[in-house]
Structures are given as structure tokens and as C-alpha cells.
Amino acid sequence: MTTFFQALGGLGIFLLGMIVMTGALRELAGNAIRHALKKLTKSPLSGALTGATSTAILQSSSAITVAAVGFVGAGLMTFPQSLGIIFGANAGTTITGWLVVLLGFKLKLGTVILPIILMGAILKLFAKERIATIGFALAGFGLIFVGIDMLQQGMSGLEQVVTPEQFPADTWLGRLQLVLMGVVITLITQSSSAGVAVSLTALFAGAINFNQAAALVIGMDVGTTVTAAMASLGGSISSRRTGVSHVIYNVCTAIGALFLLSPYGLLWEYFAPGALMANAEVALVGFHTCFNLLGMIIVLPFTTKFAHLIEKIIKSEPLTYTENLDKALLREPSVALTAILTVVTNESSTLLKHVNAILTQDGEHKRINLLEMQTALDETHAYVDLIHLDKADNPQWQQLVEAIHILDHLQRLHERCDEEEYRAFAAKQNEDLSLIVCQFTRVVEQIFTSIDKQKWRENSQLASTANKTLLAQLAPVRDEVMSNIAVGDITVPQATKRAEAIRWLKRVSYHVSRITHHLEVFHRANKA
């Protein structure tokens, strides 16, 4: 019983080490990797290579997958490009197995690495920011091998208790049963890496044989997709397509791996008789890497056709303003902020087109449904409220603040359009204001055209200049209105109507200039 609890404790320490290390690595290299994903995914092949490398560095395929979903939603990459990343992420996860075998089993770092854990903890406690995070990553790295060492000791104690004979026989039915067991283990541990580590340790201790361990590992690869699929339910179209594609790809790879298992063992026996038994752990990790790489190589030339298949399975739905705001992305705040940027940019352009429509008689752009826009703004506000950042110097902090500013001005601009449209009509009908209104509408059209073309700096400067010009133009008009009251040319109600129209134009112009300013800063911060 003691050895059993030791094995469980070892698994727990391993999982804790993975969580700590992955979290620290994500903080250290997350932004750089996300930039790499955006820039180095021009094709499915480059996406696959980037996905594999990024997963190997971060030790988290889910983080890479979520990032890919967010970028698709944000329009930063195509769906086929994201598939390349997913394929590559599968291959990248196999690096954990190599770390376990080469460093955990061969070098037996479990005891040697203890001082490194202490060093990492000290750095975390006393060092500042980046160095502290490096210390945390070191501590997590060390815990992984302490966990492996405990797993080994626990499994060794179970050598006479747990034997290969107690597991399903090496038949097709037996292998399928073991695959299902692998799926269940991954669902319980929420980590295929932990499952692979358990399989390797059990194989090392003689509790299972090579074929049984290989079948378990195949199941663990399938098990990782269940979590992703569950997370994508109720999400955006991109999220659901990614979840389904992940499941289909991994199931197909698993089927191929089952057929590959026997030939793989025969090749070992042919080229190195007896080596499979002597180096079963290396052979298992090699098999895991082999079928994932082979699956990626086979499917990459057909990525576009695979994407079309997924698009037929998960059909497109009518587009909404907030379709990119998938709650699954909240696990990666930077990705969620990218999705928010896409949404507020679209909302800004659409609302400015409405402003243009109500100020012109026969404009190219039609009025929008302001109730739908209000619902979209409410949903965007609610989504932003789910993001909480602690560090004011965090690059993401600036993005979040800019998003809040943009939404504030969008809401106020919406109110001007919804509750005070009659003032826009008064401005159009007034002889003194009509020319100013005409000039302003042309500028508004330039602004939303620039937004659509992503000319952020140029757009911000244009809106700022237009606002100053408008204020200068309206000042004498307002003075003239007051003078006309005094000489009796117009009545007080008429003057009030004109003054309200002037005030409306000022407010609209101000909100437009602030929206474009904060959009520019948001986009600049998102690229940093």
C-alpha cells in the first residue's frame, strides 16, 4: 500500500512540476511564441514546424491550440494555417517523453536536481520579475524529475503485484481496450504528458510490456482531444472547427498507430535483436514520436482538403459582431485581447458607417440595427470584464485599458445615434451647418475606410485634425446663433434646436477622435 501511495504521490509531484514549469515558461516566452505563431505560419508546413517548436518550448499543446483558435478568430491566420499548428503541436508534445527517458531514467536526476529546486524557490521568493519567473520554471523542472523518481520507486514496489498478465492480452481487442484505458487516464490527469510518464514508468518497472504501453500511449493522444473538444462546445465557429479537427486528426493518427505497432516491433527485432526488450522505454518514446510525425507528414499535403471537410461538418452561421469572443480563449489573456481588438475594430467601423448614413441623404452605407449594436456592446463589455490583470507594467495591461476606453466611447457614440438622431437631422437642415456637416461626413467616410484598411496612425491623426477643425468651424456659428436671438431673427426654441445640433456634432466628433486614438494604441500594443 505504501508503494502505491508513493506512486500516486510521484504522479502528483510530476503534474505539479508540469503546471509550475509550463506556467512560468508561458510567462517568459509566451509573447515571443505568439508573435512567432502569427508571423511564421504562411503555409501549413511552416505552421506545423512552428507549432511543434512552440509546444516543445512551452510544454503545453493546449496553450498553442488556444492561441491558434484566437488568431483564426481575429483574422490573423486562415483555418488551414491553424491546422498546421495543431498537427505540429501533436508532434511537439512527444518531447516530454524524451525528457522523462533521457534525463529521468538514464541520468536519474531525481536526487541530484533537489538543490536546483531550492535555488528556483529562492529566486522566486527574493529575485525580481523575470529572474523570479526563471526560478519558478527551474523549480517546476526539478519537481518533474522528483516526481518521476518517486513514480519509479512506487512502481518498483508493485512489481510483483501488477504484472502484464493482469492487463488485456496483446490482441486487437486487447489493444482497443488499452487505448480506451489511455483515454480515461488522460481525462483523469488532464495531461497526456503525465499519462505518458506513467506508462514509461510502468514499462520500466515491468508492470506492462511494450505493446501494452504503446496502446496506452495511443489512447492518451486521443484523450487529449476530449478536453479540447469539450472546451470548444458552445464556442465560436473557429473554436468548434478546431476542436472537431483535433479529434478527427488524432483518431485517424491513432488508427494508423495501431496498424504501425506490430511492424515497428518487427523492425526493432530485425535490425537489433533483443534491443526492444533492453531499451523498451526508448523504443516507446520513439514509437510515440514516429506515429505523430508520420501522421503530420501524411496529412500536411491535404491540409486544404481537410479544412474543407471540417467546414462542411461545422457549417458557417450568420456572422455576428461578437462571434470571435470565445470564452475558451480567456485561458490565454493575450489571445482573448486579440479577439477583443478584432471585435471593437469591427464595431467601430460599423458604427461610424451608421453615423455617415444618418448625416447623408443618399449615402452608400445603410443604417444599422442599433438594438443589435447595443447587444454587441453589452456582450463585449461582459467579455472584457472577465479579463483581470494584476501588473500595470504587463504589456497586456495597456491593451485591456485601451479596450475599455474604446468601448466607453463607442457606447457614448451609440447613445448619440440612438437617442439624439433628431439633432443630426437638425444639423443637416440648417443652412449654416449643412456645409460643415457635409465636410464632416466626408472625413467620417475616410476614417472608417482607413479602419478597414488598417491604417491606424494615419487614421488617428485624421480624426484628431478633423475634430479640431470642426470645433473651430462651429465656434462662430454658435456665436451667430446667440446674436440672432438678440436681434430677433430667430426664436429661443429655434436657437435651442440649433445649439443642440452644434453640441451633437461636437460630441460625435470628439468620440470619433478618441475611438481612433485608442484603436491606434491598442493595435500598437498588440504588436509589441
Instruction: Give percent of the chain above pLDDT 70.
Output: 88
Which three cell numbers, joined as nine digits, stand for 450?
Answer: 482607413
Q: Show the DSSP H helices in 59-171 as ranges.
A: 61-73, 79-92, 95-99, 109-112, 114-126, 129-157
Reference 268, options 280, 258, 253; nearest CA is 280
Which three cell numbers, joined as nine digits, stand for 512?
Answer: 470619433
Does the structure show a pLDDT above 60 at 69?
A: yes
* DSSP letter (8 states) at residue 367: P
Grid coordinates 438594438 are at which residue?
371
503 versus 156: which is more confidently predicted? Answer: 503
Residue 488 — very low, low, confident or very high, per pLDDT cuts 50/70/90? low
* DSSP letter (8 states) at residue 327: G
pLDDT digits (tens, 9 = 90+) for 210-267: 999 999 999 988 888 776 677 666 666 777 787 788 889 999 999 999 999 999 988 8
Mean pLDDT calculated for residue range 269-284: 84
320 versus 349: which is more confidently predicted? Answer: 349
Does the structure show a pLDDT above 60 at 323?
A: yes
Instruction: Tell me the CATH number for domain 327-527.
Output: 1.20.58
Which stretch of 138-142, 432-436, 516-520 has the lowest confidence by average pLDDT?
A: 432-436
Residue 298 — very low, low, confident or very high, per pLDDT cuts 50/70/90? very high
CA distance 447 to 458: 9
pLDDT, residue 348, reads: 92
Reference 47, options 18, 71, 19; nearest CA is 71
Task: Quote the pTM value.
Answer: 0.73
Mean pLDDT calculated for residue range 50-69: 77
Mean pLDDT calculated for residue range 395-422: 89
Does the structure show a pLDDT above 80 at 356?
A: yes
CATH 1.20.58 residue ranges in the chain?
327-527
pLDDT, residue 516, reads: 93
Grid coordinates 515558461 are at which residue?
25
pLDDT, residue 363, reads: 52
pLDDT, residue 417, reads: 87
